[in-house]
Amino acid sequence: MSGRPLDVLEASLNEPVTVQLKDGAAYFGTLAGYDQHMNVVLEESLDVDDDTLGELDVEAVEDTTIIRGDNVVTIKA
């Protein structure tokens, strides 16, 4: 996937993503929304398993979670 960051987020709407934060924490969920500041909204994903979460210490969201864009390092689809 390539393009402008917001275009990539648009293409990833309603898809499972992993969001890694500056403090090293990572969250897995379905990308429900975003804005021009790359604030993201994650909702619980139905596709959670150990293979999906990979090697990072990733926490699957259990409810709607809003992450401020200033804290985001990467978003992996």
Does residue 73 surpass a pLDDT of 70? yes
Domains of the chain, CATH where assigned: 5-76 (2.30.30.100)
Sign of the CA dihedral running 69, 10, 18, 47? positive
Question: So what's the pLDDT on residue 57?
Answer: 77
Average confidence score pLDDT of the chain: 87
Please say whether the beta carbons of 24 and 64 come within 8 A: no
Question: So what's the pLDDT on residue 45?
Answer: 82
Percentages helix, strand, coil for the chain, rounded to the nearest 5? 20, 40, 45
pLDDT in tens, 4-51: 888 989 999 999 999 999 999 999 999 999 999 999 999 998 765 555
Q: Checking phi first, is residue 23 left (phi over 0); if not, alpha (psi -120 to 50) or beta?
A: alpha
pLDDT in tens, 11-22: 999 999 999 999
